[in-house]
Every structure is written in structure tokens, then in C-alpha cells.
A and B are shown apart, each in its own frame.
Chain A
Amino acid sequence: MSSSAKHLQSIDAGHYKNTAGSATEIMPIPDLVKISMSQHIGAPCKPLVSKGDTVKVGQLIGDTDAFVSAPIHSSVSGTVKAIETQRSAVGGEDTLVVIEPDKKQELCEDIKVPEVENLEGFVKAIRASGLVGLGGASFPTHIKFNPRNIDDVHTLIVNAAECEPFITSDHRLMLEDTQDLIDGMVLVMKYIGLDEGYIGIEENKPDAIALLDKMLAEQGHDNIHTFTLQARYPKGAERVLVYEITGKHMAAGVLPADLGVILSNVTSIAFVGKYFRTGIPLTSKRMTVDGDAVNQPKNIIAPIGTMISDVVEFCGGYKTPPKKILMGGPMMGRAIFSDQMPIVKNNNAILVFSKEKATIPEETACINCGRCHAACPFNLIPTALADAYEERDAEKLDELQVMQCMECGSCSYVCPARRPLGFLNKLGKGVVKEAGIK
């Protein structure tokens, strides 16, 4: 199946897929890991271990009773050195379980391949695996796999667009863990009761598309299809991907399940396949390490909790002093203030930029060119929204539908005056929320 005739507006943000040809390297166990208790949207976990405890790979070390949550497992075998708190990338406080690995990587005795008979057992196993949305949202997957309207969902969409510049980890996964991906899709479709499966992939990954097509055909999965997307940003945004594949608009606040779709990231689905093969919970992560300030850009699999400084060290160290380090891609990734932060479940890239590359040029006057409006996948009018935000006019912001903005940053990217339009929308949403407009 190929792209449908109608597309949402998109931009060419460049690709910079420098590491597309770099086979994933497994990073050696570092001297220290710090495993965060807040690796998902929702309530943070409470540590289940204390200083001095010995732990093994895959051992449960953090959990909570809260509904929106996912358990956390040790990525290494070793000794708990401390339970400490650290300022998180988003400004709050993170509880970290600090473990000194013994580098033996002994597996926890509890680990066994899950035996599942029905949806309930499947969802339970998914929660026990610690899986969260690995595309970046980190929403606990077991909740997503059990929507309220479970009888109405019919289609699985796997997000393998990887539209963010630089990142190639999903691309490598599709080439290296192809069978896990297919197995994961089959499992998810079987237990949730879905008829059709689509893997949305941008056309700049023809080798992955060809390999998947070949294996799907060989294995007789005629209800699973690859879906070729334009190699443009932001085709991998959830609401954009759903539109491209189903032709249905997905407004903010609408869940994919409301449109009959279960949507999940390719890494999450491949993890499901692997988990049902090995029983090892989510303890390591594949990611792209790139940027002009790192010596050897590559794809790696690192234990969760590895310090970013250690990740960079493994990639040949800093080429020049870093000015900006991103968790995720340059379009929607988060800039972190320190390299002394641990890898978390949803990290798909660590991008390290020098001062030169990190500096966004200074803002100049808006020339009313309309490129922001032409770039917006949802046809918002960023200039008008910026004016309304300037006035803190909640009603106007709401009328212009600021809440529909998904903060993809396309408007900011194309602006010749370098206005932070996407950021202003984010602030504008705050104004609307504060005013209590429903």
C-alpha cells in the first residue's frame, strides 16, 4: 500500500540520517547506573530496594499502585549504592536508584517467558514488562492496549515513520529485529482482536520496507502491510500518521481508539515480540548518538540508567565542548542542562551539538510571509496565535484553536524571522487552560 492522495501540510526539515548505515553496537556495562523512578507519564514509582541490596538484571526495583504507571526493573546485576534525588530534565525532582554493576549481568530468577491466554493476561504481562510508549510519549502501554471501547478497535498502526532528523534507531531496529517486530504485531493483533495491521514507514527507508514486505509475504501475514509515507516532517506525529493511513482527522483530545485504531511505536511493538520470546523486561534501549560535538556518531543499545556522559564516552567522547544535548530529535526533543543524566526508557536519541550548531539565530520582525500557516499540518495560523498570545487573549486563542497545536515545531522551523512560534503556542495553551475555557 502506498501513500493516499491527500496529505496534511508538512515541511522538509532535512534528514541528516548520518547513522542509517551504522549497525547497532551493544554498549558495555558502565561503572555506575542511575535508574529513574519517573520513566513514564503518570505517577512515579517507589523504589523497592534499599542501599546495600544486591540486584539482578530484570529485577523489579520500582513500582506503584497508581493506575497510570509502569514498573521499573534493574538493567544490571550489582549492588544498590544509594537512593538519591536529582533535578529532572523537566524541572521536577527525580528519585534515582544508583547501582554499581558487578558486570556479571546475572538474570533475575523471576524472569520467564510469559504464558498468556487472553487479553487480560496479555495486558497484565505488558504491564509487568515495564513497557511504555517508546516513541517519546512514554505512556504506559498496557493502558493503551486495553481501551474502553475494545470492541470497536480493528486496526493496529505501527509508527515507524521516524520523521525526526538525525534519528535512525527505528530504522536499524526494523533491519535488525525484524522478526521481533512482526511477532509483536501478531501478538498485539491476536489478543486485542485487530483485523488489520499497518507499519507506517517514510520512503527514505526503502531497505526496511523491502525487508518487511519480503518477510511478511514469506510468513503469510496478508493482513499486515507496510505503508509508505512521504519522507517529510512530521509524518510520524500520531495525529498525522492516523490521517495519512486512515484518512480520518484526529483532533486533539481524540484517542486513536476512538477512530478504531491502536497506535504504537515500532520499538514498543518489537519489544513486545522480544519480551514474549525472552521474558526479559524493558532494561535496555536502542538509540542514535549523533551531532557535531560527538566523535563517533553511532547506534547503540545501552542499559537504562547509563549516564549520558558514559554514552558519549562510548561514542568516542566529545569532539568539541557540548553546548546543547538533546534527548530525542532536534524538532521535538528536550534540551537537558547536564550530561550527568541517565538514559530513560523512551530515549531514542542523544544528540550533542557544539555552540555553533546549538545557537538559534536572533529573532527579527515578522514579514507576514505565511510560511508558518502553510507548514502547519493542522492549518493553524501561528502569526495570529502569536498576536493573541501577546495580548494574553484566552478567548481569541481558543477561537483560533490553539489547543489543536501538537507542538511539532514546523512553524518555528520555517519562520524566516526565527520567531519561536511553536513555543508561543505552548504558552498560549497555558493561557487558555488558566482561563478555564472548555
Chain B
Amino acid sequence: MDKKAYNNLSVSSAPHLVTGLDTSKTMAWVLAALAPSLLVSIYVFGFRVLILTIVCIAASVGFEWLYNKITNKTQTVTDLSAALTGVLIAFNVPSSLPYWMAVVGCFVAIVIVKQLYGGLGRNVANPAIVARIVLFVSFATQMTTWPLPRMMNVTDAVTGPTPLGLLKGGSVEDLPSNMEMFLGFIGGSMGEVSAIALLIGGLLLIFKKIILPHTPVAFIGTVFVFALAYYGIKGDANALQMAIFHVLAGGVMLGAFFMATDYVTTPIMPMGKIIFGIGCGILTMVIRLWGAYPEGVSFSILLMNILSPQLDAFLIKRNVVGGVKREK
């Protein structure tokens, strides 16, 4: 090149280098981590799982796109957070849920819980969790009609109670084996049935440093210890079996790895993440054992979401900077 002076170079504050891992890629990793669970769910409940998931993604992305369009805001759908919310909503409903009901859930999640609060990063509660709860109280029948796994050899029924439903109803002898629950050959919400698939996804996220292990370990550990103590004190000979059952049943695995680790609605401080997980575990077990509902994961996460800003504020005040704690 010819020799000439360059006098109008761009100047900016350091650093001049940033990581390649942006918000979209972060969300993409979470979506990838949910894929094993989706595949198991399709295998267990059939092709409708895939269609319902696609409907939820399309509706969530569509609502966000439309909201931004109408309110004349910068388009944000490419950050993939709406797509992720869509998948999580699908994972939190039975595979037989009418499509239009799922779309209502997506509207609640994206428009009411997320966009009206200011969009990604501003929402207080986890959009997918609130959508699940709204659907649950609005369409109680459809939301608690659980298609049975295709591999269950039943001729006269296509739906039945979930393992937690059986437990609540007192039919302990009908409970599936822990192995069936680990693999996911049980009734339940689409994406929550296979503990192994969720575990694979969750470990991928921890390995890729997308999430910290603090919350899932605290959440799952608390559920296990709580259940072990409860059944142990009751003198149940199967206390250990029951503790494992509670970890594998319902939404604990999905919640612990994918919902209680949502950045926006959980504490930023590592200690906060631990407290958040323990809180979720305790609330889940309290609702399961003494509440009116068989399952308490969504309620527990929602309650802890609401507490998160307070947890952070408390911990930020007590943060130790470079070995120095400010006495105030």
C-alpha cells in the first residue's frame, strides 16, 4: 500500500477485545442443552411434542417481534431469549395441551411478564414459570391431564396421573421405579420427564460455563436432604428411595438446571445463588408434602424470583472487595 498518514483512527476506551460469547450465543447453548430432553419427550409422548414446541417458539418470538414493532422498539428477537422462553413453556405443559392454550401462555410470558417490564433483563419473574402457573390456574383440567408414555402397556387408558399425583393420592404402590423416572418413561410435562436428558443438558451448561453449579446443586441437594429427613423421621423404610424419587419426579431437574438458573430473575451473587437454590428446594418440598398441589417447583421458583433483588441487595452490601470488607 502507498505511504500515507492515517489521522482519523477510531479511539475508544480499553479493552479493545471482547469475548465471542454474546447473549444470543448464550441462549443458543441453553437451547442446545434442552435438545436431549426434547428428543426423549418426542420418543415418550409422540410427534405432537415437536409440533407443540414449534408452536410455542413461533408464538413467543412472534409476540416479542410484534410488541417491539408496535411500540417502535429495537428488534430483540435475535437474542434468542424469546425462543428459549417458548421451549421452556412447551416443556412445562402436557403434550396434549390444545395449541391455542399454549399460545395464551406465550402471550402471558412474553408480553405481560417480560416486555411490559422493559424486555430482556428487566423482568422480575421467570416468564415461562408465570406462563405455566397462569395456564395451570386457568385451564386446570387440560393442564393436569397427563398423556401416558407410549411404552406403557395400557390398553384402556391414554392419560393418567403423574408420579407425584399418585403420591398425593396415596397410591404409593403404583409409583414407577426410580429407573423409569430417571429415563423419563413416566407421565408429566413434556420436558420434565427425563432426568437423565436434563442432567446431560445441565452438565453441558456447567461445563461450558454458561451456568454456575451453585443453584442446581443447592436446589437438588435440598430436595434430597429434605425428603430423606422427612421420610426418615416418619420411619419410612424406603426413605432413601423416596428421596431419590423426589429429585427425579416432577419439575425438579428441569427447574434446577434451566429455570432457577435464569440469569435475569435470580441473584447475581454466588452466595445468593446458593440461598436461591436452597429456598427453591425447601419450598418445593413444603408444597409437595403439605400443600394442596402435588407439585411445587414452579411456585417455589416464582417465590424465590421475587426475593432475588432483596437477596442481591443484602449480599452486595456485604461484599468483600480485594480482601477489604467495608464496615458500615
Name B101-146 residues within 8 Å CB distance of A.
Answer: 119-122
User: Is B9 in contact with A336, judged by CB distance below 8 angstroms?
Assistant: yes
Q: Does B264 contact A (CB under 8 A)?
A: yes
B151 at the interface (CB under 8 A from A): no
Q: Which residues of B contact A331 (CB under 8 A)?
A: 14-17
Q: Which stretch in A49-57, A151-159, A280-288, A408-416 binds the other chain?
A: A408-416
Residues of B within 8 A of A378 (CB): 321-322
A239, A334, A336: which contacts B14 (Cβ < 8 A)? A334
Q: A317-B1, A338-B6 in contact; A412/B322 too (CB < 8 A)?
A: no
Q: Does B178 contact A (CB under 8 A)?
A: no
Using a Cβ cutoff of 8 Å, how many contacts connect chains A and B?
174
Q: What does DSSP make chain A's interface, helix, strand, loop or mixed?
A: loop
Question: Does the CB pair A413–B17 fall under 8 Å?
Answer: yes
Contact (A416, B22) CB under 8 Å given A322-B6, A335-B16, A365-B122: yes
- Contact between A338 and B5, CB atoms less than 8 A apart: yes
Residues from 1 to 56 in B contacting A, C-beta threshold 8 Å: 1, 3, 5-19, 21-23, 25-26
At the interface, yes or no: A13 with Cβ under 8 Å from chain B? yes
Taking residues whose C-beta sits less than 8 angstroms from the other chain, chain B's interface range is 35 or more
- In angstroms, how far is the closest chain A Cβ from the Cβ of B118? 8
- B328 pairs with A399, CB closer than 8 A: yes
Chain B positions within 8 Å of A416 at CB level: 19, 21-23, 25-26
**Given contacts A331-B14, A365-B119, A417 and B23 within 8 Å (CB-CB):** yes
A370 touches B269 (CB 8 A): yes
Residues of B within 8 A of A361 (CB): 18, 22
Bound CA–CA A285/B97 (angstroms): 72
Interface size class of A (residues with CB under 8 A): 35 or more
Q: What CA separation (Å) do A384 and B312 show in the bound complex? A: 10
Are A415 and B5 in contact, with the CB atoms below 8 A? no
Interface string of A14-28 (1 = CB under 8 A from B): 100000000000000
A77 to chain B, nearest CB (A): 25
In angstroms, Cα B174 to Cα A371, docked, is 46
Report chain A residues within 8 Å CB of B10.
323-324, 335, 358
Q: Is the CB of B14 within 8 A of A422?
A: yes
A216 at the interface (CB under 8 A from B): no
Query: Any chain B CB within 8 A of the CB of A337?
Result: yes
Check: B320 CB closer than 8 A to any chain A CB: yes
Contact of B121 among A368, A401, A414 (CB under 8 A): A368
B121 in contact with A379 (CB, 8 Å):
no
Q: Give residues 269-311 of B contacting A (CB, 8 Å).
A: 269-270
Q: Is A321 an interface residue (CB 8 A)?
A: yes
Q: Is B316 an interface residue (CB 8 A)?
A: yes
Collect the chain B residues with CB atoms within 8 Å of residue A366's CB. Answer: 121
Closest to B79 in A: A364
State how many angstroms separate the Cβ of B258 from the closest Cβ of chain A: 15
**Complex Cα distance A361/B20, Å?**
10
- For the complex of A and B, the 4 pairs showing the least CB-CB separation, nearest first, are A249-B323, A409-B15, A378-B322, A365-B121
Task: Give me the interface of A with B, judged by CB distance under 8 Å.
Answer: 13-14, 165, 239, 249-252, 309, 313, 317-319, 321-326, 330-340, 353, 358, 360-361, 364-370, 373-374, 377-381, 383-384, 399-401, 404, 407, 409, 412-418, 420, 422-423, 426
Q: Return 29 A-B CB contacts under 8 Å, by A number.
A: A13-B15, A165-B17, A250-B322, A252-B322, A309-B6, A317-B1, A322-B9, A330-B16, A331-B17, A332-B14, A332-B15, A338-B8, A339-B5, A340-B7, A358-B16, A360-B12, A364-B76, A365-B76, A365-B120, A367-B81, A368-B268, A370-B268, A384-B316, A409-B15, A414-B19, A414-B21, A417-B23, A420-B13, A422-B14
